[in-house]
Amino acid sequence: MITLSKCPVCNKSELSIFLSTKDYFLTNEDFDIVKCNSCGFKFTNPRPNESDIGKYYESSEYISHSNVKQGFVNQLYQLIRKITINRKIGIINQYFKKGSILDIGCGTGEFLNSLKLQNYDTIGIEPNEIARKHAIEKYDLEVLDEEGLDKLEKDKFDVITLWHVLEHVFHLDERINQIKQLLSKDGILIVALPNSNSWDAKHYKQYWAAFDCPRHLYHFDQVSVKNLFLEFGFELIKSTPMIFDAFYICMLSEKYKTGKSNMIKAFFYGLKSNLSAMFNQNNYSSIIYILKTNNS
């Protein structure tokens, strides 16, 4: 395990325990989430070594890597993914009807393939070998491992997307700088993240599935996202909710808390979270952030 002595966002060293939780998904190991007393940013600390983190993803139940379709939860995930892919493309179409797109953390490639079918030029980055192989073999996509980021042409991409990916990245500064170099002058960056300030996060506390320690290294909210990207010369131009995420996260959180998938209760709490966000600064369970560089 590695313990960070300073905040990854503001570099201050005054940290306090925010929450103690477990890896409810896989290992049942204990983990702490700390909060920076200066800027409020929350992150998993201590965390596994970068060379050891892979074992925390080694499960056929990790849906974005395995594309499993058996079981109700997985089937529900697949259905919602089809709906959300269309919405994601709709967001991109508001800014570009064609062009080059880089999807970092593309998983098994369904989103990239949908873009390819609409004649976008697509490239994916996926560190997981099984997911990467699936995307290449099933959809004939160009998908590289993480080292491939360094080989891509600078100022090339009109759109760069990270759908629930940034919270997994070990070296935030390095990754955001890479993205900035790869983005074209008028390009947009789209980042989707869980919101640790949502109603369902506060309700489920240590059982909130989107804390997902230790796979999630960072636990963002709207303020920390804006502050982080401002440091790298990005301007937040729009944010929009991922409505379905609240229901899915509540379903998993119920299972972590009670040992049972209580669908009715999960639906009720997901609905309550979305309704709460409408009257509480748009603090939805997950949020899509659309950013541009200040010199765009």
Q: What is the pLDDT of residue 73?
A: 61
User: What does the H/E/C string look like for 159-185?
Assistant: EEEEECCHHHCCCHHHHHHHHHHHEEE
Which of the four pLDDT bands, split at 50, 70 and 90, describes residue 81?
A: confident
**Closest-CA residue to 213 (of 24, 9, 10):** 24
Domain chopping of the chain, boundaries: 68-293
Closest CA to 16 of 42, 34, 41, 39: 34
- Class of domain 68-293 (CATH, top level): alpha beta
* pLDDT attached to residue 294: 84
Percent of the chain whose pLDDT exceeds 90: 85
- Reported as a single tens digit per residue, the pLDDT across 256-289 is 999 998 899 999 999 999 999 999 999 999 999 9
The answer on pLDDT for 65 being more than 50 is: no
CA angle 155, 159, 160 (to 5 degrees): 85
The model carries a pTM of: 0.92
The interaxial angle of helices 72-93 and 243-258, nearest 10 deg, is 150
Q: DSSP string of 249-281?
A: HHHHHHHHHHSS--HHHHHHHHHHHHHHHHTTT
How many other C-beta atoms are found inside a 10 Å radius of the C-beta of residue 205? 13
Q: Phi first, then psi: what are they for 132, rounded to 5°?
A: -60, -45
* Biggest distance spanned by C-alpha atoms of the chain: 50
Structure tokens at 238: 């729009």
pLDDT of residue 61: 65
Kindly report, residue by residue over 143-161, the tens digit of the pLDDT.
999 999 999 999 999 999 9
pLDDT of res. 59: 78
- State the Cα–Cα distance between residues 255 and 57, nearest whole angstrom: 19
Structure tokens at 92: 């991109």
DSSP string covering 188-256: EEEEEEE-TTSHHHHHHGGG-GGG-TTT--EE--HHHHHHHHHTTTEEEEEEEE-HHHHHHHHHHHHHH
Q: Calculate what percentage of the chain has a pLDDT beyond 70.
A: 93
- Report pLDDT for 13: 95
What pLDDT is recorded for position 36? 96
Q: State how far the Cα of 95 lies from the Cα of 93, in Å rounded to an integer.
A: 5
Model confidence at 71, in pLDDT bands (50, 70, 90)?
A: low
CB half-sphere exposure, 252, CA atoms < 13 A: 24
Query: Per residue in 217-231, pLDDT tens?
Result: 999 999 999 999 999
Angstrom distance (rounded) from CA 148 to CA 129: 13
